[in-house]
Amino acid sequence: MVLGFNHNIMYKGEIFHIQTEDSGINAPHIITLLYRGGTIVSSKKTGYADILKIETLEKVVEELMKEQHKEMLRRLKSGEFDERAFARSTAVRDETSEKNETAAALPPAPADSSSSASNDIPKHQQSLDEIILDYLVAGDD
């Protein structure tokens, strides 16, 4: 039986960790957590008590785990968690700017060029994590 999946993914210059685990038949649910810097950004929990008696339970649970894990990867890459994941670093930057009363007016921040999908970057310039993420997100199986 597969106990879980763990991946570190580079996204917009930051490392995210995705972890998917099966709690077993005594607590039949699959939980996927998305972390950035040790902080949980998102989670998804799926119960499977309704299918405990099927013959192919182990295989079905493994497939459910894979799909839930890939779904979290897709959601990360789609930008769904950007506001939540990057809000803290923006807030710290804003507080620093406000505390510096002697600083001159700051020029406008440049447009965020990192928002483009990694598949817009030539393959030879992508990190291995970005190539794997593209592969997993593109897969329909």
Q: Cα torsion at 111, 115, 117, 120 (round to 10°)?
A: 10
Query: Per residue in 47-60, pLDDT tens?
Result: 999 999 999 999 99
Query: Per residue in 12-46, pLDDT tens?
Result: 999 999 999 999 999 999 999 999 999 999 999 99
Residue type, position 39, single letter = T
**Helices within 53-81 (DSSP H only):** 57-78
Q: Which residue has the higher pLDDT, 135 or 33?
A: 33
How large is the average pLDDT for residues 89-101? Answer: 46
Cα radius of gyration rounded to whole Å, the chain: 19
Q: Which residue has the higher pLDDT, 44 or 141?
A: 44
Read off the tokens for 63: 């497939």
Query: Per residue in 59-81, pLDDT tens?
Result: 999 999 999 999 999 999 999 99
Residue 81 contacts residue 34 (beta carbons within 8 Å): yes
Read off the tokens for 100: 């510096």
| Residue 87 scores a pLDDT above 90 | no
| Residue 94 scores a pLDDT above 70 | no
| Residue 107 scores a pLDDT above 90 | no
Instruction: Quickly state the pLDDT bin for 101 (edges 50, 70, 90).
Output: very low
Residue 52 contacts residue 28 (beta carbons within 8 Å): yes
Do the bridges between strand 14-22 and strand 4-11 make them parallel or antiparallel, or are there none, so unpaired?
Answer: antiparallel
3-state secondary structure of 125: helix
